[in-house]
Amino acid sequence: MTTYKGINGFAVQSVATDPSPSDEGQVWYNNASYAFKLASVTTAGTWAAGGNLNTARSGIAGAGTQTAALGAGGYGPSTPGITAVTELYNGTSWTNNPTGLGTARYQAAGIGTQTAALAIGGNVSGGWAPGGTEKFNGTTWTANPTGLNTAPRFGMAGFGTNTAGIVAGGDRYPSPVRESAATESFNGSTWTTVNSLNTARGNVNGAGAAPQTAGLVFGGNAISLGPNTLNSSESWNGTSWTTTSSLNTGRRQLSGIGTQTAAVAVGGQTTPSAPSATGATETWNGTSWATNPNSLGTARYLMMYGGGGSNTAGLVYGGSAGPSQLSATEEWTGAGVATTKTITTS
């Protein structure tokens, strides 16, 4: 009779703790949980519920990773409305930071890590923040002496670090509000205008990593062309933007995670004139976008603006699905991630 040992050259081990790391296809018996286990890898990206924000809100400036994230500002319920609230995520739950932003704002761009972040631009009570930039050191926010060079904007894409960052696009002010193609680079103290996007777009998002010489923006809207959504994407090489393959689903007010060559576009609004939230998720391999079979558990738009991890371990939080603001957090596990499965008879 053929046995597992005869096929593989070794017997099934009996252990009290699952081995780590393990090789794909490896089988063992966990004698603590009384179950046979199998080492596998994910074949498609999936979303799972994480810990809820303490303050439900949309248009949050986001930064960090799946296990060390930052969420600052946003628009909450009627009280407090536009807020300066800052929360920190440890991979399980959110904690309120003792001090919030110096200027309450929403739809500000977020860049950096949980302990070294930027919040740029955004909409404030009674008007638009005048290109203001704030720095976070892990404890407190400090206003940067100089702001953006171009018109005040909100809903920009941002990537990089707090000393080497990029913001691009966004809706500019004063009235009439129109989308922008402006791109600016930050060196830790001042902003410098660099080459613009090929397509002006507002309510956009993107992905990128340090340094600020490699990034991606995608989606958004072009108000000047009438209520619409964009599906085009552009890649940044440190000097200029190149138009690349388009998203399968055009959308605005979406979120993005990952890098220039391995990104995820998620959620957003597909019909600006009649808000329609989507949970659609697409993955980018550096060449083209592919629709992921698994969508967000809660369709939403106006989630965090800025980074939320990598294309294999990301995070989205907050947002809106209509008139109400959300506190829900969802964690992303991408394709090709090692996982352990329990073997059953079903």
What is the secondary structure of 112-155 as a DSSP string? E-SSSEEEE--EETTEE--S-EEEE-SS-EEE-S---SSS-EES
As beta bridge partners, residue 127 has 124
Quick one: residue 160, left, alpha or beta (phi over 0 = left, psi -120 to 50 = alpha)? left
- Which residues touch 160 (CB under 8 Å, ≥6 apart)? 111, 112, 166, 186, 208, 209, 210, 211, 212, 215
User: Which runs of consecutive H residues, i.e. helices, occur in the chain?
Assistant: 4-8
Question: Would you call 266 helix, strand, or coil by DSSP?
Answer: strand
pLDDT score at 178 = 82
Whole-number Å distance between alpha carbons of 272 and 230: 11
As beta bridge partners, residue 6 has none
Query: pTM for the whole thing?
Result: 0.87
Question: Would you call 7 helix, strand, or coil by DSSP?
Answer: helix
Question: Would you call 283 helix, strand, or coil by DSSP?
Answer: strand
pLDDT score at 151 = 81
pLDDT score at 27 = 85
State the maximum Cα–Cα separation within the chain, in Å, rounded to a whole number: 80
CB distance 59 to 306 below 8 Å: no
Whole-number Å distance between alpha carbons of 61 and 109: 5
Return the CATH number of the domain spanning residue range 46-333: 2.120.10.80
Q: Give ∠ CA 335-341-342 in degrees, rounded to 5.
A: 165
- Which residues touch 21 (CB under 8 Å, ≥6 apart)? 338
In order along its 346 residues, the chain shows pLDDT tens digits of: 565 555 554 578 888 887 876 666 778 788 877 777 767 665 789 999 999 999 999 999 999 999 999 999 999 876 668 999 999 999 999 999 999 999 999 999 999 999 999 999 998 877 777 779 999 999 999 999 999 998 888 999 999 999 999 999 998 876 666 889 999 999 999 999 999 999 999 999 988 876 788 999 999 988 765 567 899 999 999 999 999 999 999 999 999 999 999 999 999 998 766 668 999 999 999 999 999 999 999 999 999 988 678 889 999 999 999 888 999 999 999 887 676 667 776 5
pLDDT score at 7 = 52
CA 341 to chain centre: 28
Q: Strands of 173-262 (E only): list them.
A: 178-179, 183-186, 191-194, 205-208, 215-218, 233-236, 241-244, 255-258
Which residue intervals of the chain bear CATH 2.120.10.80? 46-333
Q: Residue 6 corresponds to which tokens in the numbers above?
A: 């005869």
